[in-house]
């Protein structure tokens, strides 16, 4: 969030960066531990707000990817244009998460690891239904074609989508 305003930061942004540095100073001895005997199942979660940026009303999708119980990748980046619904924002988040998980699958296959259906979780049933449905509806015709490749991955059995409550 702070990086968006690095060209012209206000006092509010400087205060936020100072707060981040205080947090980092207090947690310098913490870290991520990856034990050898962990599961090697790929799992992903995707989410997005709807019009959360106060300046542009653009949504910010985010995703996390796990290898077993270990976090191996995360992403959060504001979308370039505003979307009409929370379903569309989360559909775009799922698409970006799917691209990342497919890249990871490709990299891990070089090490001899194979994956069947990779589970991805989202808290929006409409976005999941759009990914799993072959039919183009009038409510989704405006969504850019670049995000629809996730449908192919679901149809081909590469990705399997599940609903997860927001409070998970």
pLDDT in tens, the chain (168 residues): 678 788 888 999 999 999 999 999 999 888 777 777 777 899 999 999 998 877 888 999 999 999 988 899 999 998 888 888 899 899 999 999 999 999 999 999 998 888 989 999 999 999 999 888 866 665 666 666 677 788 889 989 999 999 999 876
For the chain, first and last CA: distance in Å? 24
Half-sphere exposure of 104 (CA within 13 A, CB side): 23
CATH number of this structure's domain 33-163: 3.30.420.10
CA gap 31, 20 in Å, rounded: 16
Neighbours of 27 (CB within 10 A): 9
Of residues 77, 79, 89, 85, the one with CA closest to residue 48:
89
CA gap 17, 82 in Å, rounded: 26
121 burial type by CB count under 10 A (0-12 exposed, 13-18 middle, 19+ buried): buried
pLDDT of residue 148: 76
Two tokens at 12? 């509010």
């Amino acid at each position: 969030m702070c990086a968006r305003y690095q060209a012209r930061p206000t006092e509010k942004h400087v205060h936020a960066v100072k707060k981040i540095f205080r947090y980092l100073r207090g947690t310098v001895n913490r870290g991520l531990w990856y034990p050898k005997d962990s599961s090697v199942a790929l799992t992903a979660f995707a989410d997005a707000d709807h019009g959360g940026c106060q300046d542009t009303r653009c949504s910010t999708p985010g995703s996390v990817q796990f290898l077993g119980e270990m976090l191996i990748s995360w992403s959060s980046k504001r979308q370039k244009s505003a979307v009409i619904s929370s379903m569309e924002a989360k559909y775009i988040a799922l698409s970006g998460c799917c691209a990342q998980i497919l890249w990871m699958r490709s990299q891990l296959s070089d090490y001899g690891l194979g994956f069947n259906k990779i589970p991805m979780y989202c808290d929006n049933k409409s976005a999941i239904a759009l990914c799993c449905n072959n039919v183009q509806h009038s409510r989704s015709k405006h969504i850019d074609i670049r995000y629809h490749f996730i449908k192919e991955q679901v149809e081909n059995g590469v990705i399997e989508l599940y609903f997860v409550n927001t409070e998970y």
